[in-house]
Amino acid sequence: MTTRHFPDRAGPSGEDTRRHPASYYAATLDTDIAAPRLEQDTTADVCVIGGGFTGLGAALALARAGKSVRLVEAGPIGWGASGRNGGQVHLGWNKDQQWLAERLGEPAARRLWDVALAARAFLDTLIDSDPDRCDFRAGHIHADHKARYVALTHEHVRFMREAYGHEALTPLSRDAMRAMVDSPAYHGGSLDMAGGHLHPLKLVRAMARLAVAAGARLHGHSPARSITPTPDGWAVATPLGTIRAGQVLVAGGGYAKGLLGEIDARVLPINNYIATTEPLDPVLAARLIAGGHSVSDSRFVVHYFRVTPDHRLLFGGGETYGYRFPRDIAGFVRPHLERIYPQLAGVPLAHAWGGTLAITPYRLPCAREVRPGLWSLSGYSGLGVVLAPFLGAALGEAMSGRGNAAFDCLRLLPAPRFPGGRWLRWPTLVAAMSFFALRDRI
């Protein structure tokens, strides 16, 4: 099997892979992540494709297990979604515990909750390894944009507190929500102090340092051009060198489309966009979101936002489908920002960027051994900050031969193909996403 990937110097969205996008994160990362280009043929026990949370987590676990690891990334380490997302820390899965219990059974739902807790604890160890603690702040607010959703949210809070002992989760009335989020857009919601927000590129840096210290070799600016079977494993070709490895992990997320057809049928890319304001008056910034928490709302095309340590509003809003970004990303995000915060109409925007994430039909991660020794893990559907580092490490342990109970749980998750077949899959998805986005406005 030989598969093709994207060109050397331009990412799948047409971006320059020689440097990070002009994001707030890139502008505030004070040290580079060293990862020399692969410039010769070499061998390894495992080749990891993708230098984000999943790939780095796997590389770290494999190296700690004594395996030789080579990781390749098309751009700088963290160039993809891991280094440019909203930085939101969520506890749990995109499907709630009631859904998981109804679909998979109560024992499986309990096991998956334990995995979510372990993933959150693992994130804390990574944060603690960084001198800046990845700019972490505790607390995540779920904001309901329709009044009829509030009762459902409060019932979910009651269930999680009583059935799972999740006492960090509390309900918010309309008045309590307005006191915490100075916006007329929301009717109530919940606060989870187990959530929060962080600087994702600093988390990438922390993970890269740990992986290198454990013995992994990282190579930036080395896109995987093909994966070919060999008598003793696989060959991963990059522009200037080929890695022969016993096992391969494809961990490119939304940027790996076209590399594994079996996974393309189950994982599709969508684009999200973020902008940051210039630094705001600290008093104004503190009023926008009390307590320094992060916020995401109940829209299908979710709005997510937070205040940075230097008093900027970092706001994510709007989606497109495919690999084309709007020409004016700031102009694309601004109407979403001003709809939530009309008092910020006309505020200067300092940074604006886009990123491509991977989604699955159920918005749950997709883990597959596509062929013996050829693995794939992706499809976090917006919850990768907590899940991807831990599940990447869990898969790394499984690949090392040690076995891993958390990775075994991943096999419980449904990961069907998107409907429509090869030719209709994409237009079917776009039509469905557009319909649900329209419902947000009704």
Report pLDDT digits (tens) over 270-306: 899 999 999 999 999 999 999 999 999 999 899 999 9
Residue 6: pLDDT band (50, 70, 90) is very low
Residue 20 and residue 5 share a domain? yes
Residues 238 and 222: their CA atoms lie apart, in Å, by 6
Please report whether residue 438 resides in a domain. Answer: no
Please report whether residue 402 resides in a domain. Answer: yes
Residue 64: pLDDT band (50, 70, 90) is very high
Residue 250 and residue 121 share a domain? yes
Q: What pLDDT score does 170 carry? A: 99
Residue 393 and residue 346 share a domain? no
Residue 280 and residue 257 share a domain? no
Proportion of the chain above pLDDT 70, given as a percent = 91
Please report whether residue 440 resides in a domain. Answer: no
Task: Determine how many CB atoms are found less than 10 A away from the CB of residue 369.
Answer: 15
Q: What pLDDT score does 304 carry? A: 98
Mean pLDDT of the chain: 92
For the cut 50, the answer to whether the pLDDT of residue 257 exceeds it is yes
Residues 248 and 49: their CA atoms lie apart, in Å, by 8
For the cut 90, the answer to whether the pLDDT of residue 411 exceeds it is no
Report pLDDT digits (tens) over 117-158: 999 999 999 999 999 999 999 999 999 999 999 999 999 999
Report pLDDT digits (tens) over 323-345: 689 999 999 999 999 999 999 99
Residue 81 and residue 45 share a domain? yes
Residue 126 and residue 257 share a domain? yes
Q: What pLDDT score does 2 carry? A: 46
Of the three residues 331, 359, 387, the one that is the final residue of a domain is 359
Cβ atoms 322, 333 nearer than 8 A:
no
Residues 201 and 198: their CA atoms lie apart, in Å, by 9
Cβ atoms 291, 180 nearer than 8 A:
yes
Of the three residues 359, 376, 396, the one that is the final residue of a domain is 359
Please report whether residue 316 resides in a domain. Answer: yes
User: What angle in degrees, to the nearest 10, is found between the helix axes of 200-214 and 106-128?
Assistant: 80
Residue 249 and residue 121 share a domain? yes
Residue 10: pLDDT band (50, 70, 90) is very low
Mean pLDDT of all residues in 185-193: 99
Residues 329 and 25: their CA atoms lie apart, in Å, by 16
Tokens representing 185 are 């857009």
Residue 350 and residue 246 share a domain? no
Residue 389 and residue 260 share a domain? yes
In terms of DSSP H, where are the helices of 142-241? 147-164, 174-180, 200-214
Cβ atoms 365, 94 nearer than 8 A:
no
Residues 354 and 350: their CA atoms lie apart, in Å, by 14
Please report whether residue 435 resides in a domain. Answer: no
Residue 423's H or E segment, with its range, is: helix 421-440
Residue 321 and residue 279 share a domain? yes
Please report whether residue 174 resides in a domain. Answer: yes
Task: Determine how many CB atoms are found less than 10 A away from the CB of residue 279.
Answer: 14
How many domains is the chain partitioned into structurally? Answer: 2
Residues 29 and 297: their CA atoms lie apart, in Å, by 28
- Residue span of the structural domain in which 337 resides: 137-196+269-359
Report pLDDT digits (tens) over 345-401: 999 999 999 999 989 999 999 999 999 999 999 999 999 999 999 999 999 999 999
Residue 299 and residue 399 share a domain? no
For the cut 60, the answer to whether the pLDDT of residue 199 exceeds it is yes
List the single range of 281-290, 311-320, 413-422 with lowest mean pLDDT.
413-422
Please report whether residue 45 resides in a domain. Answer: yes
Q: What pLDDT score does 415 carry? A: 86
Q: What pLDDT score does 288 carry? A: 99
Cβ atoms 97, 438 nearer than 8 A:
no
In terms of DSSP H, where are the helices of 13-52? 24-27
Q: What is the DSSP letter of 292?
A: G
Mean pLDDT of all residues in 245-263: 89
Residue of 117, 118, 137 lying closest to 127 (CA atoms): 137
Mean pLDDT of all residues in 44-59: 99
For the cut 60, the answer to whether the pLDDT of residue 9 exceeds it is no
Q: What is the DSSP letter of 324?
A: P
Look up the CATH number of the domain holding residue 322: 3.30.9.10
In terms of DSSP H, where are the helices of 51-105? 53-64, 97-104
Of the three residues 318, 343, 359, the one that is the final residue of a domain is 359
Please report whether residue 437 resides in a domain. Answer: no
How many angstroms separate the Cα of 13 from the Cα of each of 29, 79, 131, 314?
A: 23, 12, 33, 22
Cβ atoms 323, 12 nearer than 8 A:
yes
More confident call, 12 vs 341: 341
Q: What pLDDT score does 394 carry? A: 97
Q: What pLDDT score does 430 carry? A: 65
Q: What pLDDT score does 11 carry? A: 52
Report pLDDT digits (tens) over 68-83: 999 999 999 999 999 9
Look up the CATH number of the domain holding residue 78: 3.50.50.60
- What is the distance between the terminal CA atoms of the chain, rounded to a whole angstrom? 47
Mean pLDDT of all residues in 236-258: 94
**DSSP secondary structure, 349-393, as one string:** EEEEEEEEEEE-TTSS-EEEEEETTEEEEE--TT-HHHHHHHHHH
Report pLDDT digits (tens) over 427-441: 666 666 565 555 555
Residue 246 and residue 102 share a domain? yes
Q: What is the pTM (predicted TM-score) of this model?
A: 0.94
